Structure 1
Amino acid sequence: MTLLPITAPASLLDVHHLDPEADGWAFRAEHAVATAAGDTYVLTGLRRYRGHAVGSSGPAEQNFGYQLITRYGSDGKPTATAVFGQAVPGGGPSAIPEGDVTTLAVLPDGAIALSSKPGSTHLLSPDLDEVLASWPMAWGWEKQQGPGDNPFAASIAVTPAGRLLCMTSEYGLSNWAGAHPNIVAVSEPGTALGPGCKPVLRAIATLDARTDRQSDADAYAHVRYGDEPVVRGNRPSPSLTEALSELTGTSGSLYGYDDSTMTRPAALSDNLFVVPVFGKTFRSTNLGQEFSFALVDDRGALQGRLEGLHLRDDSPFTGFDFTVVADPYRARAFHLNRYGLYAWSADGVLRARMPTAEKPFKPLVHFTLLECTPEGELLLAHRKQHVLLRVPVPQDLDDLAIAVEAALKGYGRERTALKKQYSPVNWLWSDSAATVNHL
């Protein structure tokens, strides 16, 4: 099965009397991961907001915001859905609050890790029927460390050897308020994340080293550099901001890497990672602004970056598509933005480019690249039609354009078959067969 419907539970839609033909609702795929056995987990957000519904008591009128994780079997059929983020009418409070920039990871023992900014991680059973453990990190403009503040990571990726590649956040950076993702860190092979077990993460890279405002209270014991927690000057050096400024010759430039941001790191292997870093965003156009998909090894050395992208003609700032996914089993990386789909080998050489300006690849502008599966397939979600397209990647990246063109040509035929099976209304795919677990 190369096309999956991204479904919502019929029971949840019925509770809120959601009319797909009405305005005010939104459904979005946020991330997806797959297991070696062929199961797929898709994370989505389902929301409704209508101004006249503010203060309404009935579920048919209430605004709501849920996150969902749906598990699909190897046959493409949904088997279970976890619902969280807020209480379902008539039920108890959700064990997991709604997260921001949330991603999934399948851990070596099969558990599902759900991570979100600034650093909360929740562990779910493979059947999505139980919250096994939670490590929350409070949002806030001021540090809120206390009994309930026990973070792990803002994102997790798993390497073939079972190492956890994590992005973690810090307070007290430069003149920023609140916590911001700033550290790339890895666990050692064989260490497990589970109930009562939070492994030490070894910091290998810092985005921003301007930490004059930090104190010992801003340190977290599980994120370490050397023998001590990361805080103030105890961190990898030089920072990614400094190293990329030197690499690109933009040090001190208004359009350089000062006040830059990073997104979820991806693993190219057990010891080589891609860290997307993009410069400060402005209210006016950001075309031409600096960005780099930095290559960092597990010793923290900058090994270069994914090459071949033009600052304007290939800019991820159009649409703000900064996601890079990687296949650590075959050492290659991929990126999709409004201008094209790109593929690299582990040495940073651009091996394939599929411009959306060319007719065969124009449909790619409607898709978001979510992840790469253990089998080497790309997972792309259609932003309006809410389906997940699996694109097999050939061993030779020179043949990727052929594979992508074939997948896009077959998309309409497979979508028609799914429509006959599910009868979606306004591209909302309702499912009543999967087990629904309100967490």
Structure 2
Amino acid sequence: MIWTLPLALPGTLVDHHRLDLTALYSTGWGLTLFDVAGAANGEVYALYGLYRSTYGVDDEEQDPQIADFGYRIINRYSAEGEVLASAYFPTGGAREGGSDVADGGDIGLCVLPDGVLAFTGTPDRTTLVAPDLSRVLAVYDSKDVRPYGEFTPGEGDPFAGAISVTPSGRLLCTLAEYGVWRYGNVLTNLVGIAEGGLTADSKPAIRALASLDPQPAHQSDVDLRPHAMYQGAPVGMANRPRPALTELVAAEDSLSGWQRSTLGRPVPLSDDLFVVPFYAETFRGGSRGRPFVFALVNDQGEMTGRLHGLHEWRDSPFTGFCFNLAADPHRGHAFHLNRYGLYAWNKAGVLRAKLDTDTKAFKPLTHFTLGSCASNGDLLLAHTKQHLILRIPAPDDLADLAATVEEALRAYARQRTALKKQWAPVNWHWTHSAPLHRI
């Protein structure tokens, strides 16, 4: 079933702040979609940020019509597309998070095997939220705010900066480290796998599989990660997986040697095979044509291959910074969407489909970004201008992907028209009156 879901704002918050939905974002407010995730029962969750930050407003201003604000909001949708509830976290008066669903995001959402939501962020912050969004169950936070403050060992209780779930319930995680590429802050640098459940009462140990920067600078004993192990000892200082991914492909970018490259969010192709994306340094003057790798890494930390078939220039994810990947581990399919097409691979890393956005049928895909695959493999795409989420049924055979997506885009146009009549959005901003929880 094809569904189009509105990324609807809680009407209570809109009214409280008397938010002018007709105003341009350049006036100091905005809406940013961070991630979407699907649960085993067919429900869908969307994580986004809503903020207002107006130059010249006093920090002590109390009038909600004038005051700056910032929220991270989670919407919960039924399997039929109805908004069931929302929850919000106040975050202050500025936009939270420097990236959105397209860039692979440094803020993420995952549905754990027991249905609990894991809301994640760098560095290694994991918040567990009840499936009905009524309450926070636990917070695992590294409390590492360097370079903006001191870091006290043992003060924090970290877990992961991003989580994906394999078919058997293993947790594919990313971890951050201090001193990556000699920067004085904490950046994502490790990929690991965790066995066992993540609950409000306990967290499983993470076994490190792969690293990006093989030798982060200026680390000491305070930078050891007791919850993450490599070869029987906590990750940190000289103890991390080697050779690093960047060392394995160093010859492919002889100019920079992959210095200042970025680790994307990995996704599982199966229980024991994962796609780990990483991207060369971006330049202010344009980065199209810069190298990138979608590496295949097994659960022993071996790079066994990669997703093939993309040209560094003609298929560049750097145009528009479209760095997200999605995977359907039950069928062994991986997906990537950027400004040039929607790409699909099989478990062997062979490109089985490319839906070229130069063609009339698939040109509308340039307005969408790839969120994730739902637990049944359905593709979740987001139209971040019209603030709609498109759910596309997963084809069993990638040869059927073109026909499936073409039909979904036609259905999207029809369903969007019906939603406009039903919801009467203001400048493509939708509002709902479902229950709202402050958590």
TM class, shorter-length: over 0.9
User: Against the structure 1 CA distance between its residues 407 and 320, is the aligned structure 2 distance closer, same or farther, given a 3 Å change threshold?
Assistant: same
Name the residue aligned to 2:146.
140
1:35 aligns with 2:50: no
Runs of 4+ in 1 over 4 A off after TM superposition: 97-100
Alpha carbons 2:386, 2:428 under 8 Å: kept = yes
Residues 233-266 of structure 1: CA distance to partner in whole angstroms, max 9, x if unpaired? 22211001101224x3x3xx22542221111110
Which of 40, 46, 50 is residue 46 of structure 1 equivalent to? 50
Aligned equivalents of 2:150 and 2:165: distance in 1?
29
One-letter amino acid matched to 2:176: S
Alpha carbons 1:204, 1:236 under 8 Å: kept = yes
Deviates more, 1:230-239 or 1:344-353: 230-239
1:383 aligns with 2:384: yes
1:178 aligns with 2:182: no
Which of 219, 226, 237 is residue 221 of structure 1 equivalent to? 226
Alpha carbons 1:85, 1:98 under 8 Å: kept = no
Percent of aligned positions with the same letter in both sequences? 46
Secondary structure at the counterpart of residue 118 of structure 2: strand
Which of 246, 249, 259 is residue 241 of structure 1 equivalent to? 246
Show the 5 A alignment for 1:402-413. Answer: 402-413=403-414
Q: CA deviation at 1:166?
A: 0.1
Name the residue aligned to 2:348.
347
Alpha carbons 2:49, 2:96 under 8 Å: kept = no
Aligned equivalents of 2:416 and 2:32: distance in 1?
18
Q: CA deviation at 1:410?
A: 1.9
User: Against the structure 1 CA distance between its residues 87 and 182, is the aligned structure 2 distance closer, same or farther, given a 3 Å change threshold?
Assistant: closer
Secondary structure at the counterpart of residue 217 of structure 1: helix
Name the residue aligned to 1:157.
164
Name the residue aligned to 1:91.
none
Which of 112, 115, 121 is residue 116 of structure 1 equivalent to? 121
Alpha carbons 1:373, 1:379 under 8 Å: kept = yes
Aligned equivalents of 2:7 and 2:400: distance in 1?
28
Q: Which runs of 5+ in 2 are unaligned?
A: 99-105
Show the 5 A alignment for 1:72-91. Answer: 72-86=77-91
Q: Which runs of 5+ in 1 are unaligned?
A: 89-96
User: Against the structure 1 CA distance between its residues 87 and 235, is the aligned structure 2 distance closer, same or farther, given a 3 Å change threshold?
Assistant: closer
Q: CA deviation at 1:45?
A: 1.0
Show the 5 A alignment for 1:35-434. Answer: 35-55=39-59, 56-86=61-91, 101-137=106-142, 138-141=144-147, 144-146=151-153, 148-188=155-195, 191-246=196-251, 248=252, 250=253, 253-432=254-433, 434=434
One-letter amino acid matched to 1:361: F
User: Against the structure 1 CA distance between its residues 87 and 171, is the aligned structure 2 distance closer, same or farther, given a 3 Å change threshold?
Assistant: closer
Aligned equivalents of 1:398 and 1:186: distance in 2?
32
One-letter amino acid matched to 1:302: M
Residues 31-69 of structure 1: CA distance to partner in whole angstroms, max 9, x if unpaired? 111112111111111112322434433100112111100
One-letter amino acid matched to 1:61: I
Name the residue aligned to 1:93.
none
Q: CA deviation at 1:165?
A: 0.3
One-letter amino acid matched to 2:407: A
Secondary structure at the counterpart of residue 156 of structure 1: strand
One-letter amino acid matched to 2:88: V
Aligned equivalents of 2:264 and 2:152: distance in 1?
24
One-letter amino acid matched to 1:271: D
Aligned equivalents of 2:154 and 2:15: distance in 1?
38
Residues 60-93 of structure 1: CA distance to partner in whole angstroms, max 9, x if unpaired? 01121111001111121111111003379xxxxx
Aligned equivalents of 1:288 and 1:103: distance in 2?
27
Residues 366-395 of structure 1: CA distance to partner in whole angstroms, max 9, x if unpaired? 111000112221100101100000112311
Secondary structure at the counterpart of residue 53 of structure 1: coil
Q: CA deviation at 1:285?
A: 1.9
TM-score norm. by structure 1 comes to 0.93
Secondary structure at the counterpart of residue 277 of structure 1: strand
One-letter amino acid matched to 2:164: A
Alpha carbons 2:153, 2:222 under 8 Å: kept = no
Alpha carbons 2:276, 2:295 under 8 Å: kept = yes
One-letter amino acid matched to 2:159: F
Q: CA deviation at 1:148?
A: 4.2
Aligned equivalents of 2:146 and 2:358: distance in 1?
42
Alpha carbons 1:271, 1:298 under 8 Å: kept = yes
Q: CA deviation at 1:117?
A: 1.1
Q: CA deviation at 1:213?
A: 2.1
Q: CA deviation at 1:212?
A: 4.7
Aligned equivalents of 1:225 and 1:364: distance in 2?
41
Aligned equivalents of 1:401 and 1:158: distance in 2?
27
One-letter amino acid matched to 1:167: T
Q: CA deviation at 1:147?
A: 5.3
TM-score norm. by structure 2 comes to 0.93
Aligned equivalents of 2:413 and 2:92: distance in 1?
37
One-letter amino acid matched to 1:435: P
Q: CA deviation at 1:146?
A: 4.3
Aligned equivalents of 2:223 and 2:127: distance in 1?
22
Number of residues of Structure 1 aligned to a counterpart in Structure 2: 424
Secondary structure at the counterpart of residue 359 of structure 1: coil
Alpha carbons 1:264, 1:276 under 8 Å: kept = yes
One-letter amino acid matched to 2:438: H
Q: CA deviation at 1:178?
A: 0.7
Deviates more, 1:134-143 or 1:1-10: 134-143
Aligned equivalents of 1:218 and 1:81: distance in 2?
37
Alpha carbons 1:255, 1:290 under 8 Å: kept = no
Secondary structure at the counterpart of residue 14 of structure 1: helix
Deviates more, 1:420-429 or 1:280-289: 280-289
Aligned equivalents of 1:148 and 1:214: distance in 2?
18
Aligned equivalents of 1:233 and 1:147: distance in 2?
20
Aligned equivalents of 1:49 and 1:413: distance in 2?
36
Q: CA deviation at 1:143?
A: 5.6
Aligned equivalents of 2:158 and 2:426: distance in 1?
40
